[in-house]
Chains A and B, each alone.
Chain A
Amino acid sequence: MRAYLDAIAAGYPTVSPALVYLIGMLAFGALVVFVFILPVAGITSWVERRVWARIQSRIGPNRVGPGGFLQWLADGLKNLLKEDVIPAAVDVPLFRIAPYVVVAGFVAAFVALPFAGSLIIADLNIGILYISAITSLVVIGILMAGWSSNNKWSMLGGIRSATQIICYEIPVGLSIFPVVLLSGTLSMQGIISAQGWAPTSWHMFHSPFLFVSFLLFFVGALAEGNRTPFDLPEADSELVAGFATEYSGMRSLLFFLAEWGNLYVIGVLVSTLFMGGWQVPHFTDNGVVLAVAQFATMFVKAYFWVFVAMWVRATLPRVRVDQFMTLCWKYMVPIGLVNVVGTATMMVVLPQGSIVLRWIMVAMTAAILVQFARRVFFHLRRANYGRLGRISEGAA
């Protein structure tokens, strides 16, 4: 961004460069929010409902637009027009600003998220640290919402959410360390540049430690994003709707907007840290074509993980609070510590890494995926066989 703005500022020598920079940054930020974040979060809500419906043998929203595609616009419009009910017993100022704090925390993460090689709002030197830090605003917002609602279920939801986020911050941080060790930088573009387009050059396949780190990161990120199986803060059967119980209209929708948008942030982080981000083979010298290809690569990789998160949500039951804490403190934190030490040892023993090891890791992952797909299709065939009423093995 800086380069573009410097070029613009050079064209208007009478205007102060700082002013051009400020206006340019604000304009670009607004563009990203309205042209990218809102549609992505909205469309994700529709995709998620359709994907769950498919997994649960239902149909899902299919009335508004082709295949129900415009459902997210209809929902957004409806919620904007609805009455914004503020219950009498709430703490009004905190109740009003809580959704904005949550949304601010999630939108601020986009400042350092890379879209393509040249498309990033600001390539901060502390990119990944900044993202971990600024998303803590989300916890504050959720605690504010939970407390100000003056309702014990909301309060419990808010407290559970805060516990969850501060506990899982530790394994997530520990799983970022090996990546930072390997790349030697905290900058998001720097981490991507340390990898290549081929899977064998991705951080994920550098060593078994990095692969485990990747799994830890994805699980921890789901927990931080309050996603099933870790959606304890809004466990419907226990807490009504958790911290969002008293909210209505657009304020309520803002919480969900942050949740769906956060899925995309998780996807981008996983692909940046472990899967080479926007790296594509250098097939053309045309900068625009290359940028489009990079953007598409990044988007597909990120959306793949969004899809996996939806899949997990439709498949797994919610964990209990004690299981949740056990998983974090007794398993993920020790494994994370071993990963950090293991990666550091690897880097001393094999400073260049080992291409053989990388190929073995890729082959093993491919073998696991193939076996997984075979099992899935086997069960699908068997389920269909049973449904046709010949031999109902599944029912036995």
Chain B
Amino acid sequence: MTAADVMFFVLAALAIVGAAGVAFSRHILYSALSLMVALFGVAGLFITLSADFVAGVQVLIYVGGVLVITLFAVMLTQGIQNVAVSNRAVGSTAAGLLTTGLFVLLLRAMAKAQWVRPSGEVSAQTSTAGIGNALLGQYVLPFEVASLVLLAVLVGAVVLTRKETAE
């Protein structure tokens, strides 16, 4: 087992333990913080795949943005410490069926996928310039459409939160 394998297993364990914490923790705040562990594990996995830019953005957007907003919402909600209110286990049968089905589906997809096996040593390459060129070259239209969607979301959020001014 090489050092890279050890790193992979450590990071994968981090991601899985974090994800398990999110799913099984009785306390919603602990769930949110376990999500952080899982996100760092996934960022580490991206780095082992030499997708350094994606890893950085993953931490910046998900840990620095989404997770902080989640913690915010959790902390500002009343009675959140009451497990019976915040983390009730509802519909465990349906959830069990759904996750088992998804697991089987993913296993089948994994077995059927055509994995590309590189021959010989693969050197790490940086991805930032490549992502930039692809986004503003080949995929410029989808990229702009996505930014339009985000703009619509922003305008919608402003409209929803704005107080009606008195006539």
Contact = CB atoms under 8 A, between A and B. Distances in A.
Please report whether the interface of chain A is mostly helix, strand, loop or mixed according to DSSP.
Answer: helix
A124 B47 CA distance: 11
B95 interface: no
From A133, A158, A159, residue with most partner B Cβ within 10 Å:
A133
Interface residues of B, number: 24
A124 B52 contact: yes
Contacts of B69: 166
B161 interface: no
B10 to A, nearest CB: 12
A140 B60 contact: no
A126 B53 contact: yes
B162 to A, nearest CB: 14
A133 B59 contact: yes
B75 interface: yes
Given A133-B60, A139-B68, A166-B69, A126 B52 contact: yes
Given A18-B2, A125-B128, A136 B72 contact: no
A147 B29 contact: yes
Interface string A138-159: 0110011011000000010011
B65 interface: yes
A140 B67 contact: yes
B73 to A, nearest CB: 11
A134 B126 CA distance: 19
B128 A140 contact: no
Given A126-B52, A129-B53, A166-B69, A136 B75 contact: no
Contacts of A162: 68, 71-72
A132 interface: yes
28 contacts: A16-B3, A18-B3, A94-B29, A126-B53, A129-B57, A129-B60, A132-B64, A133-B56, A133-B57, A133-B59, A133-B60, A133-B63, A136-B64, A136-B65, A136-B68, A139-B64, A139-B68, A140-B36, A140-B71, A143-B71, A144-B33, A155-B75, A158-B75, A159-B75, A162-B72, A166-B64, A169-B64, A186-B53
